[in-house]
Amino acid sequence: MARMPADVSLLVTCKALFPFVYPDLLVKQGKAYRPIDNAPEIQITDRMKILDDQDRKYGLHQIEHVIKSVLLFADEAGYTVDLSKDDFTGDQPTVGALSRVIRAFSEEKE
C-alpha cells in the first residue's frame, strides 16, 4: 500500500487545523485551496495544548474534531489514516511535523 504523498498530507493537515490556527493556513488558488508557502513552519504546539486544556476544562471536543477532519479529508483524497489524540497533543511542534505523522500513518484505500 502506498502512503499519502507529502503535498496531500500537508493539505489534509492544513484543512483540518484551519479553524483553530492563525495565520490562515490555506490560500485560494483558482477554484481550489492550497497551503500557504510557510505552512510547514507554523508553530502549533501551544495551540494544540490550549485546545486539549479547553477540551478537558469545558468538555469540548476540539481535538476530536481535528482528528475527524483529518480522517474525512484523507478519505476524500483516497487514504485511510490511523491516528490517536496523542499524535496531536504530543511532540509535533509545527504543521509540517504533524503532516509527516499523518503521512506516516496513512495508507492508500483499496
pLDDT along the chain (110 residues), means of 10: 94 95 92 96 91 95 94 97 82 90 94
Q: Which domain holds residue 23?
A: 6-108
Is residue 34 helix, strand or coil?
Answer: strand
In a domain, 82, yes or no: yes
Residue 57 counted as domain residue: yes
Number of compact structural domains in the chain: 1
The per-residue pLDDT for 110 is 84
In a domain, residue 46? The reply is yes
Instruction: Fill in the amino acid letter for 74.
Output: A
* CA 50 vs CA 31, 37, 38, 90: distances in Å: 33, 25, 22, 12
Asked if residue 1 belongs to a domain, the reply is no
